[in-house]
Structure 1
């Protein structure tokens, strides 16, 4: 279930961004349990990521580990952060068109 939910975050993030952005997700084992990381590499600028440790005990009875609202929030935040990285990376090289 966790892998499915993390894949959904990555897919949702891709929906917000053009194809030039690379989105990847990973579930790994940490000292306190599974750790989730979703990262975005924009075409220019620094990569951004979101990492968290989901509470699996609460998810035992549920059909999802990460709720749809949480998935959407993470995806939107990552997409916005990645877009900001591009804006910051090119802002010094772009002359304003008007005042």
Structure 2
């Protein structure tokens, strides 16, 4: 896409949508590998303000949900999400979700002084 193209008006082709969803599904599956079954992980394509966007979200058993967005490069979308990006996003999401649980648990514990 050239610099003057408004990406908010861009529609994904069937092939682009499949490539993006496959990449998102891979990130979600990798994220699940890092976490216990109590965490719910999902992925979807949404209509973002800058055009179509992929979102992967994790809902920990307690604490706030965490998510990561992926705005595709429409010129390279046929290649899907880069392998190193898939792994890095999965690790970061899993770590963030685990931190949410830790913070939620520590917020509920009253420190005892000695």
Q: TM-score range by the shorter chain?
A: 0.7 to 0.9
Supply the RMSD in Å over aligned alpha carbons: 1.9
Give 5+ residue unaligned stretches, structure 1.
none
**Greater gyration radius:** 2
Q: TM-score scaled by structure 1? A: 0.85
Per-residue deviation, 1:42 = 0.1
TM (norm. structure 2) is 0.74
Cα–Cα, structure 1 residues 31 and 83, in superposed 2: closer, same or farther, change >3 Å?
closer
How many residue pairs align between the two structures?
94
Cα distance in 2 for partners of 1:33, 1:65 equals 16
In structure 2, runs of 5+ residues without a counterpart are 1-18
Q: What is the SS of the residue equivalent to 1:6?
A: helix
2:102 equivalent to 1:84: no
Question: What corresponds to 1:43 in structure 2?
Answer: 61
1:69 maps to what in 2? 84
